[in-house]
Amino acid sequence: MSKLDIAPTEAASPSVDLDAYFARIGYDGPREPTLEVLRALHQKHPDAIVFENVDVLLGRAISLDPADIDAKLIAAGRGGYCYEQNGLFKRVLTALGFEVTGLMARVLWMVPDDAPPRPRSHMVLGVRVPGDDTVWLADVGFGGCVLTAPLRLFSDEAQATPNGDFRILPVAELGGERRVQANLSGKWAATYQVALGAWADQDYEQVNFYTYTHPSSHFTWSLTAGRTTPTARYALKNNRLTWRDADGALVEQRDLSADELEATLRDVIGLPVEPEWRPVIEKIVAWGTPA
């Protein structure tokens, strides 16, 4: 599939309150569909609207209804995982006049090279600025290694972002899929592999249900949370906090007590911790860090 084959799958996505979204992420700039606007929104979103799966661990269903996503991620100050995050970002970009296509990727992050292939489970976006054929990979929903700038999907060169360098290489034996890699202190680490077939909004419903219900989904039995600021990346895997600087170098990694985990979720990750979270927090600490 060539770069010209990526096109919007719907005439329009459901609307979004742009004023509320911009207030949520702290953006007060232009609203034209330009590359500069795309870059600005892409950097601000992962700092303000964090990655997290707390609701799954609380036994709550994850709704992809736009009204439910907006109530959670915008009005309630919560975060979410990729279908919520990139579903919202898709509607925002569409409302601004960008051409946006939903895509799916196979996660490779921290997966051993000899592990069997996982199913495609990660939503990303292909974005075009009107009048330009360049396809940009946008992704505001990938935990502690989330992009903070769009990447040229069909460029093999290393690309700088505010939080480290990335590159996207072709996977010729898989029909032209594109493998995204992050530079971690001089070593390229695979994050995920993007398939180039377009997905409609309704196509994500089934994989979302799998993600928050199936026992093989790590979101059902471990905490994953992350926030990326202009100067740092913070990632929680159960009670283990990993802190990297903007270039990806490790600053600190340690296991947290229940009190420390609760404080980190609130003060570092930036979530409005609710009293009913405490039993889950204590259970997470008892589980420890997954291998």
Mean pLDDT of 51-67: 98
User: For every residue of 111-170, which 3-state class applies, written as one string?
Assistant: CCCCCCCCCCCEEEEEEECCCCCCCEEECCCCHHHCCCCCEECCCCCCEEECCEEEEEEE
Nearest C-alpha neighbor of 233 from the set 287, 194, 183: 183
Of 122, 145, 156, 214, the active-site residue reads 122
Task: Give 195-244 pLDDT, tens digit per residue.
Answer: 999 999 999 999 999 999 999 999 999 999 999 999 999 999 999 999 99
The residue from 47, 70, 82, 145 that is catalytic is 82
Q: Is 122 one of the annotated active-site residues of the chain?
A: yes
Confidence of residue 157 (pLDDT cuts 50, 70, 90): very high
- Among residues 139, 203, 218, 267, the one annotated as catalytic is 139
What does the DSSP assignment read for 40-86? HHHHHHHHHS-EE-HHHHTT------HHHHIIIIIIS---B-HHHHH
Q: Determine whether 139 is an active site residue.
A: yes
Question: Per-residue pLDDT averaged across 164-179, rounded?
Answer: 88
Domains of the chain, by residue range, sit at 3-202
Per-residue confidence (pLDDT) for residue 10, from 0 to 100: 57
- Per-residue confidence at 4, pLDDT binned at 50, 70, 90? very low
Q: Which two tokens stand for residue 128?
A: 């075009």
pLDDT digits (tens, 9 = 90+) for 69-90: 999 999 999 999 999 999 999 9
* Overall CATH class of domain 3-202: alpha beta
Q: How far apart are the first and last CA of the chain?
A: 37
Backbone φ, ψ for residue 130 (5° rounding): -50, 135
Specify the residue for token string 């700038």.
149
Write out pLDDT tens, residues 112-152: 777 777 889 999 999 999 999 999 999 999 998 999 999 99
